[in-house]
Amino acid sequence: MSRKSARNSFYLFMAAAIWGMAFVSQSKGMEYMGPFTFNGVRSLIGSAAIALYLLLTRMGKSGGKEYKHGWMDIKAGILCGLALTAASTMQQFGIQYTTVGKAGFITTLYIIFVPIAGIFFKKKVSSLVWIAAAMAAAGMYLLCMTESLSLSVGDALVFACAILFTAHIMIIDHYTPKTDGVLVSCIQFLFCGVVCTGCAFVWEAPKLSQLTGGLGTLLYAGVMSCGIAYTLQIVGQKGVNPTIAALILSLESVVATVTGFLAYKIGFLKTDQSMTARQIAGCVIVFAAVILVQLPGEWFTRKKKSDGHT
């Protein structure tokens, strides 16, 4: 693995870790406000945080070079924002009508959907990656599912969310070689924030008291989950096979389970977050799948030596 590939994989892992640790803040935030309000405000906070970063790090440092991207960045940002808005909205509403375990498992089905989608875009996926994707899906089942797998309205919404997150990953894969990843991330959250906030005023009637009450959850979800993690995803996916990226990002559920368990053990969370042997096995399988796709491909292929000796 090259140094650049290892660095980008680390960025994706950091994104998954931040999302996994954001579970508490997202759940807590729903106690103060509706899903459109929460998604809208946190997206605007994320966009503002990235805009501030761009202002502080790039102002006056262009060296006279003309910016080359322009419309391509705007187009990528809007398309990513559209997919992200639809996916996060479907997920937020779907969770209200199904269990967290089922929602977590169904959402992570993008592990399988991404390589399938890649076939239509002529993205080569090795047999090793397919095996790892199947392993990760099995691990997620053991980790998330604690009840029978039946279909409800909530499950259908979360299933649609998984397809939309697949689209989000594929859009990022298409545009990252041609665009400024940080700027695209800023635009996607501005788009998502404006759309969700508009929907909130139509259907939820948000109040200032809701925002002040859930300010801590909004700041974490906005700055960390949106501003930092999604930017790491866009930057990290550059040059990484989208299926491998999906596998690394799926570690979000593993991190959420492990951090929840640790938080319970130290007394930060009062709800029992103990991990069963089944869940531990699921975590191990997912980690093994992610490590598998990071190993050099030549380890699994037999090459004939051509040094002239018999």
Q: What are the tokens at 138?
A: 């099995």
What is d(CA 268, CA 167) in angstroms, rounded to the nearest whole number?
36
pLDDT of 309 over the 50 cut: no
Region 31-37 average pLDDT: 87
Q: Give yes or no for residue 100 having a pLDDT over 70.
A: no
85 touches 36 (CB < 8 A): no
pLDDT at res. 43? 93
Res. 128 pLDDT band, cuts 50 70 90: confident
User: What number is the average pLDDT over the span 33-50?
Assistant: 92
Q: Closest by alpha carbon to 102, among 141, 74, 128, 132?
A: 141
Residue range 88-113: mean pLDDT, rounded = 75
- Please tell me which residue, 301 or 66, carries the higher pLDDT value: 301
The rounded distance, in Å, linking the Cα atoms of 302 and 55 is 51
CA distance 26 to 91: 12
Note the pLDDT of residue 304: 43
The pLDDT value recorded for residue 63 is 46
Rounded to two decimals, what is the model's pTM? 0.76
- Got the DSSP string for 29-69? HTTTS-HHHHHHHHHHHHHHHHHHHHHHHHTT-STTPPP--
Question: What pLDDT, on a 0 to 100 scale, did the predictor assign at position 84?
Answer: 92
pLDDT above 70: residue 77: yes
Task: Give the CA count within 13 Å in the CB-facing half-sphere of 43.
Answer: 27
Q: Which residue has the tokens 């298409």?
A: 174
Radius of gyration (C-alpha) of the chain in whole angstroms: 20
Determine the average pLDDT of the residues in 20-27. 71
Residue 296 token pair: 């050099």
Helix (H, G, I), strand (E, B) or coil at 95: helix
Asked if pLDDT for residue 98 goes beyond 80, the answer is: no
- Closest of 11, 13, 37 to residue 217, by C-alpha: 37
Using the predicted structure, report yes or no on whether residue 1 has a pLDDT greater than 70: no
At residue 76, the pLDDT reads 93
pLDDT in tens, 144-197: 666 665 667 877 888 899 899 999 999 998 888 888 888 999 999 999 999 999
Other beta carbons within 10 angstroms of residue 232's beta carbon come to 24
Q: Tokens standing for 59?
A: 């102002």
> According to the per-residue pLDDT averaged within each range, which of 23-32, 43-52, 93-102, 277-286 is highest?
43-52
CA 286/CA 159 separation, integer angstroms: 20
pLDDT in the model for residue 108: 75
Angle, CA 237 vertex, CA 236 and CA 238 arms, to 5°: 90
**Least confident piece of the model among 114-128, 157-171, 229-243:** 114-128
Question: HSE (CB half, 13 Å, CA atoms) of 119?
Answer: 6
Question: Who has greater pLDDT, 276 or 217?
Answer: 217
Judge whether residue 64 has pLDDT over 50: no
Q: Give the whole-angstrom CA distance, residue 39 versus residue 55.
A: 24
Type of residue numbered 274:
S
**Dihedral pair phi/psi, residue 112, rounded to 5°:** -90, -35
Q: How many CB atoms lie within 10 A of CB 141?
A: 17
Query: What's the pLDDT band for 270 if we cut at 50, 70, 90?
Result: low
Helices (H) and strands (E) counted in the chain, each on its own, are 15, 0
Whole-number average pLDDT of the chain:
80
The confidence score (pLDDT) of residue 80 equals 94
> pLDDT at position 178, please?
84
Residue 308 reports pLDDT greater than 70: no
More confident residue, 279 or 205: 205
pLDDT of residue 150: 61
pLDDT of residue 297: 57
Q: How far apart are the first and last CA of the chain?
A: 31
Please count the CA atoms within 13 angstroms of the CA of 291 that sit on its side-chain side.
Answer: 6
